[in-house]
Amino acid sequence: MKELSGKVLIVDDSKSATRAIRKILEQDYIVKIADSGEKAVEINKKYDPDIILPDVALPGIDGYEVCRKIRSESNSRFKKIIMVSVRTLLNHRLDGYTAGADDYLVKPFEVEELLAKVRVFIRLRHTEKELDSLNRKWGIFSIPFSPANLCPPMTEDQQAQVWAWHRPKK
């Protein structure tokens, strides 16, 4: 099955990681790479990717901040962000979702899982853009689906409560 065409921005300072992810995706998608958070924010403005795959640990601004900066831009409404990281703890994933990520993929990952997530989010982004276009044509307001839109960002107190609840009991 041929994938929907789409543009992906990989954000990682590890050349081996970007090379591996690019090799997986470039057969079906147009791929660009940024090796820092600052470059990702700049490339995002010019390239307008459908999906952004930021690592959490980056030189300069980290992946969470990349996510927040991109989400604050007016053209990021339908963009999908999948955090990719070796950080496996629940609080790391929750920090990603709080920053505005749509999903979180832990390294090392299965190739099939990465491909499935990219395929699903490309399809979702295309559908949201199409619905938005129809809604604008007919004067109907729409809100894109994203886990970040389902609930407001957590306050620091709420985050502390979640972390306390998930800490192993001694």
What pLDDT is recorded for position 3? 45
pLDDT-derived band at 5 (thresholds 50, 70, 90) equals confident
Q: Could you tell me if 33 and 42 are in contact, meaning their C-beta atoms sit under 8 angstroms apart?
A: no
What pLDDT is recorded for position 50? 94
Give residue-wise pLDDT tens across range 14-45: 999 999 999 999 999 999 999 999 999 999 99
30-34: strand order across its sheet: 30-34, 7-11, 51-54, 80-85, 103-106
CA distance 143 to 145: 7
Give residue-wise pLDDT tens across range 104-151: 999 999 999 999 999 999 999 888 888 888 877 776 655 555 555 555
Give residue-wise pLDDT tens across range 43-97: 999 988 999 999 999 988 999 999 999 999 877 878 999 999 999 899 999 999 9
What pLDDT is recorded for position 70? 94
What pLDDT is recorded for position 2? 47
Q: Which CATH class is domain 7-166?
A: alpha beta
